[in-house]
Amino acid sequence: MLQTPRGGVGHGTATADGGPMSIGTVLNALRDEFPEVTISKIRFLESEGLIEPQRTPSGYRKFSVQDVERLGHVLRMQRDHYLPLKVIREHLDAMERGEAAPLPTVGRQRDGEAVLVEAPEAPTVARIGRSELLAAARIGEPELEQWESYGLVVPLEDGVYDAEAATVAALVSELGRFGIEPRHLRVMKAAADREAGLVDQVVAPLKRHRNPQTRAHAQARTKELAGLTVRLHAALVQTALGVRLP
């Protein structure tokens, strides 16, 4: 079991009989130390695999003391160390396996910009070349040029692509099997740009902050908001179509 530093999460964490807690009880326990935490935040952390509360037969979440301790760790590492959720999850999982897991730290780069210095085993952001992207999507140069003209796939400044471009390319290709052409996807691209603009608007104050650590925190906040917007977008599409994906 994780040992909660600094005395653990607020008092009165457990129920009177020491049994499992509802999400509302967990929220009240956490708010002493984390006044900005919300039920949506707890649900999001669950969706990201940071916690795994039990479910009643009717679907209600039931949190153990260990779940709340882990939540406290997650929120504390976000607040104090500005770490991305993926790094936090890997760190806590290593701790639970009994492995030595020193915390990654936020360091300084030239020009005063803050960067995340991850543990050596943490993966770096992958990039792929143009030929690799063509091979992964099983397309030729004309198709890729067309996709680029619609802004569906955009190369980076040095001519390579973010690894996510391979995912986009594969999905565009898959949709093509149903007769959906790249020009039809401009509406999706426009919606994605608007959603990204909304997220940028929310995190802009963090990016402009004089404190380098606060600016570094903008990356974690951006990822969190991106996850929420993607889930909302998917739910809205499913609702509009009257279907529910597995």
Q: Which residues of 58-77 are buried (b: 16+ CB within 10 A; e: fewer)?
A: eeebbbbbebbbbbbbbbbb
Residue 60 has pLDDT above 80, yes or no: yes
Phi first, then psi: what are they for 151, rounded to 5°? 75, 15
Decide if 23-117 and 125-180 have a common fold. Answer: yes
- pTM, whole model, 2 decimals? 0.47
Residue reference for tokens 């802009």:
204
pLDDT at position 99: 74
Q: What's the pLDDT tens digit per position in 138-189?
A: 888 999 999 999 899 988 877 788 878 888 888 888 888 899 998 999 899 8
Phi first, then psi: what are they for 7, rounded to 5°? 85, 5
Q: What's the pLDDT tens digit per position in 66-84?
A: 899 989 988 888 777 767 7
Q: What fold, for 125-180? A: Multidrug-efflux Transporter Regulator; Chain: A; Domain 2 (1.10.1660)
d(CA 135, CA 166): 10
What is the percent of the chain with per-residue pLDDT over 90, rounded to a whole number?
11
Q: Which secondary structure element, helix H or strand E, spans residue 55, and what is its range?
A: strand 54-55
pLDDT at position 237: 87
Spatial contact of 69 and 6, defined as CB atoms under 8 Å apart: no
pLDDT at position 105: 52
pLDDT at position 165: 85
Q: What fold, for 23-117? A: Multidrug-efflux Transporter Regulator; Chain: A; Domain 2 (1.10.1660)
In this prediction, residue 17 has a pLDDT band, given cuts at 50, 70 and 90, of low
